[in-house]
Every structure is written in structure tokens, then in C-alpha cells.
Amino acid sequence: MEEARTYEELRVGFTAAVSHELRTPLARLLALLDSAGLAGADHEALLAQAREQVEQMSELIDDVLFLSELESGREVVALGSTAALPVFEEIRDRLADSAERADVRIVLDANPPDVVVPMRRRMLHVIVENLAVNAIRYAGPGATLTLGARPNVLDVSDDGRGVSDEELPRLFERFYRSDRARSSRGTGLGLAIVKHVVASAGGEVHADVGRAGRGLRIRCTFPAPAAAARSEPGRSSSATP
């Protein structure tokens, strides 16, 4: 009974948080539609802003559904192993435009180059992309983002603005966003998803100061894979830029 009561409290709280997060872009969207009816309105600019709000709601819904999928046990996270470098390269190429706009350089550091991570490719992609997007959004112009991998370790770090000591323990809370992050786009679920996926794979995730005492580093550590685990096929690569 106690477990059921605790679960119900968490469910109600999560539902309320989702509802709150959806109200903000909905309210902005309604305001934009009202503005479109005014004389002399810049319809092209209003349409672009409305599209951003719809995309933000869609991103939030996708994140919530993914978390629900994990919690319902329908995803087997730590099934097999995946080569890290091909996933890094795919994410670097996918985020190249947004990184260029943010003036953030992406560096790949897989050692050895064929190092594998003990989880499914989709799950590894989710973790690395969420961490990379977070750094691109908040590290600041001129920062370098490093996607690193060692045996059973993912180490994604930047040398940008970083976060305060007070913020570090709260980074993985659902919907938590620092004062600086509130002014930019984001659902507040990216790092929560990372923590959930890593924990589901039997691993741990920690946040601390980045390299050279600057920025932010997110380190994910995993238990050694079973001897019988096989690496999922991936595009071969032997060098990083």
C-alpha cells in the first residue's frame, strides 16, 4: 500500500508538471494568433514564432512519451554493445548546423577508436545526443564540446560557462532549468532522460566541472558487458577530427 501511494503521488506530480510545461508554449501560441489579427502585423515573423512554439510542444511530448516507454519496461536498454565512435560521428554531423550557429566546436575522443558501450545503439544515441544538445545550448560561444568514450565510460564535457555548485545536484531533475536556461528553448527533460537510460542499463551518471576546471562534464559509467555480448554493427572509423 505504501509503494502504491508513493507511486500515485509521483504520477500526479509528474502529470501536473507536464501540464504546466505545456501551458507556457500554448499561451504563447494563442498570443501570437491574437497578434496576427492586428493591423500591420508581421505575419511571416509571427508564423515563424508560432512554429517554434509548436516544435517545442512536440519535443516535450516526445520526451514524455520516451520516459513513459522506459518506465513501462518496454525498452531493453542494456542489450548487447555498440561501437561509440560511429554514433559520435553521426551526432556530430547531425548537430553541425546548430553547433556552428552557437559557435561551439565538437571534438570526438574515442579511445581506443573501436571502444564499445554496453547498451543498444538507440539508447546510446539518445544519451549522447541529449548531452550534446544540452552543451550546444548552454556552453556559450567559443566553447569546445568533447564527446569521449573509454571502456564502459562515456565522458561528455565542455569548457564553456558551466553551472554553479548549487545547480549541479539538480541537473538531472525532471523539468529543472536554471535561470539562464529558462531564456532558451528546451524541455528540461534531456538530462533526466540521460539519467533514466543510464540507470536502466545498470550504470551511474555524475556531473562535475569540465576539463581544465571550466564548463560542465557529464560522466556515465557502466558495468562491464557479459562476455557473450556482441557489438551492434556500425560504420567503421579509425580517426577523429
Indicate whether 38 and 92 sit together in one domain.
Answer: no
CATH code, 6: 1.10.287.130
With respect to residue 240, please indicate whether it lies within any of the assigned structural domains. no
> Are both 124 and 152 inside the same structural domain?
yes
- Please indicate, yes or no, if residue 239 is contained in any of the structural domains: no
Cβ burial of 108 (10 Å; 0-12, 13-18, 19+) is buried
The number of beta carbons lying within 10 Å of the beta carbon of residue 56 is 19
Q: What is the pLDDT of residues 157-204, one digit of tens each?
A: 999 988 877 777 777 776 555 544 444 444 467 788 788 888 878 889
Asked if 34 and 97 sit in the same domain, the reply is no
Domain count, the chain: 2
Q: What is the pTM of this model?
A: 0.63
Same domain, 17 and 99: no
More confident residue, 161 or 60: 161
Cα distances from 24 to residues 66, 182, 185, in angstroms, run: 21, 12, 12
Predicted confidence (pLDDT) per residue in 94-152, tens digit = 999 999 999 999 999 999 999 999 888 888 888 899 899 989 988 999 999 999 999 99
Co-location of 118 and 193 in the same domain: yes
19 lies in which domain range?
Answer: 2-71
Determine whether 78 is exposed, middle or buried from the number of CB atoms within 10 Å of its CB (0-12, 13-18, 19+): buried
